[in-house]
Structure 1
């Protein structure tokens, strides 16, 4: 069964993350908050594509759903006020 920690490991292996939080308790549905410099200058769809790339085939086979909030460090600073 997939765990939030497993997803965190997969994402952090491919993306430098300033903030990385993953939650989920049923083994297939998860939510993530990700702040990464790799997201700077990219739109939301491109940011999510980077995360999907980090997860690879696991998104199809092991992870049924992943709800994401993604931010560049600049977007995150603005979000925090």
Structure 2
């Protein structure tokens, strides 16, 4: 997956004192890639989950993402 822009924020610290905290990361991501061209949101997210592989099962507890093509990102940022 060719990524043009990536922002990741870690909100794990907000969950440390929760009774069910299992140590997994709580992440929010903005991902820009032309690999998302002509894909619906569901398929974009599936592509990201595939790229994350076993990390999504073993190390990441919660993962929120916004996905954009380069053109969408340029329009969104402008």
TM-score range, shorter chain: 0.7 to 0.9
Verify: 1:23 aligned to 2:9, yes or no: yes
Structure 1 segment 41-80 matched on structure 2, within 5 A: 41-80=38-77
Partner of 2:17: none
The structural deviation recorded for 1:57 is: 1.5
Give the superposition deviation at 1:80: 2.1
Structure (1 or 2) with the larger CA radius of gyration:
2
In structure 1, the gaps of 5 or more residues are: 1-14
Query: Structure 1: which 4+ aligned runs deviate by more than 4 Å?
Result: none
Instruction: Tell me the C-alpha RMSD between the 2 structures.
Output: 1.3
Q: Structure 2: give runs of 5+ residues left out of the alignment.
A: 13-23
Q: How many residues align?
A: 67
TM-score (norm 2): 0.77
Higher relative contact order (CA 8 A, sep 6+): 2
User: Quick check: which one's strand share is greater?
Assistant: 2
TM-score in terms of structure 1 length: 0.75
Higher helix proportion: 1
